[in-house]
Amino acid sequence: MSKTNYHFMQIIPAIDLIEGKCVRLTEGDYAQKKIYNEDPLEVAKAFEGIGLMRLHLVDLDGAKAGEVVNWKVLEKIANNTNLKIDFGGGIKNEATLKTVLNTGATYATIGSLAVQNRNLFENWIQQFGPAQFMLGADVFDEKIAIGGWLEKTEINVYTFMQSYLDKGITQIFCTDIQKDGKLQGPSIDLYKNILAQFPTLYFIASGGVSKLQDLTNLRTIGCSAAIVGKAIYENKITLAELSKFNEQY
């Protein structure tokens, strides 16, 4: 079947970390924090147990501190599962990047740094290869936001994406801050526009998924993958439903 009609879309479950625990924020607000599980490894194993193959692991402490904090969680999950982990939050220098990759992350997730220190990130792409990175585009009204969403810029999301596609980046995930953690549905129109502009991109939708139909809608418009977080933890989408959806290709 054609991509626009029906294709395989990968589910990437998310684990957000604060003080080593699995949490979720609403609209990126650290004051709106909810702890879901004290043991992220247990959560990761549950995802692997239903056949999911990837994990989006975010060090929220690291994003705030500007340096990775939750090393041990990454190491534990990498050593005890076969999940391909993309890890982000606080990767600001080469030593940290190397440690993240050596500790077991398949991909380093880069967001704010790609805006704030373009030369450094471009050097990393050359040195480590673009396949080692997943670029995050956090968006507010089609403009990039950085620093754990605390700072909005005037950079257009399409210009931002194109500039790094030109450097060889192949995976980009986009989060609409206004949707994230609210369980109000993903930004379908924004994603349609991105997919129309970059039809060959491995595009990952992120934020707003609240029910199984949202995943079907994202697959229908051509998303390559979707990050799902709060909907799982709030039991809006069960692991059984995710497993079944994951098998439909």
Catalytic residues: 16, 138
Angle at Cα 15 formed by Cα 78 and Cα 74, nearest 5°?
25
The secondary structure of 209-248 as a DSSP string is --SHHHHHHHHHHT-SEEEE-HHHHTTSS-HHHHHHHHH-
Element (H, E) at 30: strand 29-37
Q: How many Å apart are CA 58 and CA 52, to the nearest integer?
A: 17
Residue 201 CA, distance from chain mean position: 15
Task: Count the Cβ atoms, other than its own, within 10 Å of residue 187.
Answer: 24
Question: Where is 154: in which H helix or E strand?
Answer: strand 151-156
**Three-state DSSP state, 18:** strand
Axis crossing angle, helix 40-49 with helix 239-247, rounded to the nearest 10: 40
CB environment 85-101: b (16+ within 10 A), e (fewer): bbbbbbbbeeebbebbb
CA distance 227 to 54: 10
